[in-house]
């Protein structure tokens, strides 16, 4: 069930993390999956661009 | 690199307690790995892109 807006805000009023918290308190798995997928998409796109450039240049040199 | 799963044993995991099920990396570990991977890949892709554009010109 969806939490009401006020409950959601109340439950997010945690103190700001200290450096020592890293390792004992970690990001949400959902958030990590999102970041990983986003980066994967970005890299796939960039790899495709590189592949395209490579193929185009290969053809130019063959002529 | 190896694709073998890392299984927790008495020898390699001093907090092992079978009652808690199987052990996985924390998302902090995932984030640390992701950061390293991200930095390396980003640099390599940038470099390849730069070189290729240099060749094109």
Torsion sign over Cα B45, B48, B53, B56: negative
How far apart (Å, rounded) are the C-alpha atoms in residues B1 and B36?
16
User: Phi and psi for B13 in degrees, rounded to 5?
Assistant: -145, 105
Q: Across the interface, do A23 and B28 touch by the CB < 8 Å criterion?
A: yes
User: Phi and psi for B42 in degrees, rounded to 5?
Assistant: -60, -45
Complex ipTM more than 0.85, yes or no: no
Helix H segments across A1-63?
Answer: 5-10, 29-62
Lowest mean pLDDT among A22-26, A51-55, B24-28: A51-55
- pLDDT reading at A29 higher than 90: yes
- Which residues does chain A have within 8 Å of residue B41's beta carbon, measured at their own beta carbons? 43
pLDDT band of residue B1 (cuts 50, 70, 90) is: very low
Q: Is A53 exposed, middle or buried (0-12, 13-18, 19+ CB in 10 A)?
A: middle
Residue whose structure tokens are 């939490």: A3
- pLDDT reading at A50 higher than 50: yes
Distance from CA of A8 to the nearest CA of B (A): 22
């Amino acid at each position: 069930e969806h939490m009401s807006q006020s409950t959601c805000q109340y439950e997010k009023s945690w103190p700001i993390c200290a450096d020592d918290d890293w390792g004992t308190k970690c990001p949400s798995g959902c958030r990590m999956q999102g970041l990983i997928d986003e980066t994967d998409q970005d890299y796939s796109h960039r790899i495709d661009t590189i592949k395209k450039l490579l193929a185009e240049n290969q053809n130019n040199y063959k002529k | 690199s190896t694709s073998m799963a890392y299984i927790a044993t008495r020898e390699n995991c001093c907090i092992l307690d079978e009652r808690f099920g199987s052990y996985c990396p924390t998302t902090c570990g995932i984030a640390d790995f992701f950061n390293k991977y991200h930095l390396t890949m980003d640099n390599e892709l940038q470099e390849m892109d730069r070189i290729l554009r240099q060749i094109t010109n």
